[in-house]
Structure formats: C-alpha cells, structure tokens
Amino acid sequence: MPLLAPPALVVTELSLLDMSITSELSAMPENLLRLLFALEPKLLARLLSLPPLPLAKLLALPPELNRRIFSLPHTELKAQLSLPSKELLRLFSLPPHLIEQALRLPISPQA
C-alpha cells in the first residue's frame, strides 16, 4: 500500500530537514514510517520542524517506543511536541523506561 502524497506543509518541512535527520528517517522500519506519516498534517509538520537535535533523538529511539509515542492521541502528542526544545532534548535523551514514565505511556509488554 503506497504512502499518500504529503500535504505542502509537510513537504516544506521535509525539504528543510538536516541530512542527519533524513538518514534517521531512512533507517526507520516501514511500519513506523507509515505510522509517522499517518499523523495529521499540522502535527507531522510540527514534529518535522523540531530543532535537529531533539528530532534526531526522537527518531533514534527504539522502534517500539517510537511506535507508542506516535500512537499517542493527537492532543497529547501535540502537547508534548510543544515543549521548549531544551526540554524535548532532555526528554528524548532519557533512558526508554523514563521516557515512557514522562509521557505516561501504557506499560510496555516487555516491562
């Protein structure tokens, strides 16, 4: 099933991405990319417009953790992405179990 063409807002943000972010995106599993690009356009554009360091940290998280983050209700994910970039960097630099606690994610089956 091909991905739908992203709206102009998302295309603009994609075109502005740092090369390190582009390589993080290309390394993501296809199912995770589908989940990411299924986000509403404004939310996806907000995520892609994060400063390079917090965005790189987020994209480099383990795929299962990213899947759970991208599956958050859009209002919760939007609130998290609205944090100042220093706080986002600090958040995404934490060990996975502390990120889960900070984002109040449901307990992971592996825990």
What pLDDT shows up at residue 46? 87
- Percentage of residues in the chain having pLDDT higher than 70: 79
Lowest mean pLDDT among 42-46, 60-64, 66-70: 42-46
**Beta-carbon neighbour count of residue 36 at 10 Å?**
19
For residues 49 and 3, the model is more confident at 49
What's the predicted TM-score (pTM) here?
A: 0.76
Q: Is residue 6 scored above 70 in pLDDT?
A: no
- Residue 98 identity (one-letter amino acid): L
30 vs 4, higher pLDDT = 30
> 42, 44, 46: which is closest to 33 by C-alpha?
44
